[in-house]
Amino acid sequence: MSEEKYKKAARIIVKAGFLPFPISDTLLEILKMLINENELDLIFAFKRQVSQTMEQLKKSSKMDENEIIKNVESLAKKGLIFDQPSSKGIMVYRLLPLLNVGVFEYTFMKKLGYSEKEKKFAILFEKLFDEYKEFVQDNYDTIEPFLQTMPPIDRTIPIVEKNIEGKDIQISINKELEVPKEEVLLAQNVEEIINKFDDIAVGYCYCRHHKDLLGDSCKINAPRENCFTFGKSARFTTKQGFARMVTKDEALKILRDAEENGLVHKAFHAHSDISKAETSICNCCTCCCETFDQFRKGSLPIINVTNYLACVNPDLCIGCGTCTEKCPIDAISLNDDNIAEVNESNCIGCGVCAHFCPETAISLIEGRRTVYIPPPRLKS
């Protein structure tokens, strides 16, 4: 009976997210480490509606308010329930998925020790990701069209200040890529985003922390504490011990350090809707970022909204290969003339190539695009 209840909870939690994780022994083991049997009934209450008020939860769970609050407080600390008031001041309880954004992110965002339990948890998630990869590859023709319907996972915020030699990066305007007037104008640099919010929290990069626990630490030793949440997300992460509040000045310093390490700024929006305010910013390295890693492994597509496209000036390019080395998505290569060329379909407009170009040979052309790169097919 207990096994069946965990399978039922697993199906509900998977349904709360975008990715169709199979109900495997690995997934059940993760949930058994997270959720005790007394908390399963509250999970079941979210079967038909992922977000609910207290009055709705009383009806769907058949629990009294005290019992609901007790379970919510426990599950929120595990990254399974988001409990913050709506814009109208009504408390809303939302069941969180395993990934994007949920259990995985919140678990490894907080500063953990290196106990055997925490290492086991990291190993189980890695095993779950490997199982999902096999599931996608074994069912590629069925799964890939579904992945195309997913909303953008994130939005790239480019590094547009100065390159590594201290030279200004050029921002060009391409009229063919102009943002239509009816579209929402978005913050185009991290400073604009930081200045929008009074509540800013920073936690550990969950991807680098996960790799640390696996004994596969960041190849460039990028800073660990640079995962940001804003507004109600910041209040949630600090309340649950996943992050700590910081000032705007401290946040900007952390972000500048991220840029000097060549990390990619990726903004996330509520419900993946870019018309809504940013909820968080990740600062991603190519070796640890789960989005990049799972893409390379054939599990996930790259689905990214960007307002920029890298453009190489062939008269300035000396073919040093710095951009090809730094590009997180392998969107730049050297042609037969030893000049850098950009694959426009794959460029996410992060500006890392321009930031590190010693000759200022790369500009960023402005204009909103959605980049979709399917996961590579690894099985014939």
**Tens digits of per-residue pLDDT, 153-184?**
899 988 755 555 666 555 554 444 443 333 33
- Judge contact between 60 and 45, C-beta under 8 A: yes
Residue 212 lies in a domain: yes
Residue ranges, the chain, pLDDT below 70: 1, 160-188
Q: What is the pLDDT of residue 176?
A: 44
Say yes or no: 163 and 267 in one domain: yes
The span from the CA of 314 to the CA of 342, in Å, is: 11
Cα gap 336→188, rounded to integer Å: 34
- Per the domain annotation, does 124 fall within a domain? no
Is the separation of the CB atoms in 193 and 187 below 8 Å?
yes
pLDDT at site 183 = 36
Q: Are residues 234 and 343 in the same domain?
A: yes
Q: Which of 80, 96, 112 is the last residue of a domain?
A: 96
**pTM assigned to the model:** 0.89
- Give, in order, the Cα–Cα distances in Å from 233 to each of 14, 83, 184, 229, 345: 21, 10, 22, 6, 32
Q: Phi-psi category of 146—alpha, beta or left, where left has phi over 0 and alpha has psi -120 to 50?
A: alpha
Alpha carbons 311 and 177: distance in angstroms, whole number? 13
* Residues 65, 176 within the same domain: no
Angle between helix 206-213 and helix 116-138 axes, rounded to 10 deg: 110
Instruction: Domain of residue 184: give its range.
Output: 146-373
- Pairing mode of beta strands 154-157, 227-230: unpaired
Q: What is the pLDDT of residue 112?
A: 72
Residue matched to tokens 């948890």:
121
Residue 175 and residue 270 in one domain: yes
Tokens of 380: 């014939």
Same domain, 162 and 305: yes
Q: What is the DSSP string of 52-107?
A: E-HHHHHHHH---HHHHHHHHHHHHTTTSEEEEE-TTS-EEEEE--SSSSSHHHHH
Residue 165's pLDDT is 60
Per-residue pLDDT at 179: 37
181 and 325 part of one domain: yes
pLDDT of residue 170: 58
Buried b (16+ CB within 10 A) or exposed e, 283-312: bbbbbbbbbbbbbebbbbbbbbbbbbbbbb
**Locus of tokens 């960023």:** 364
How many domains is the chain built from? 2
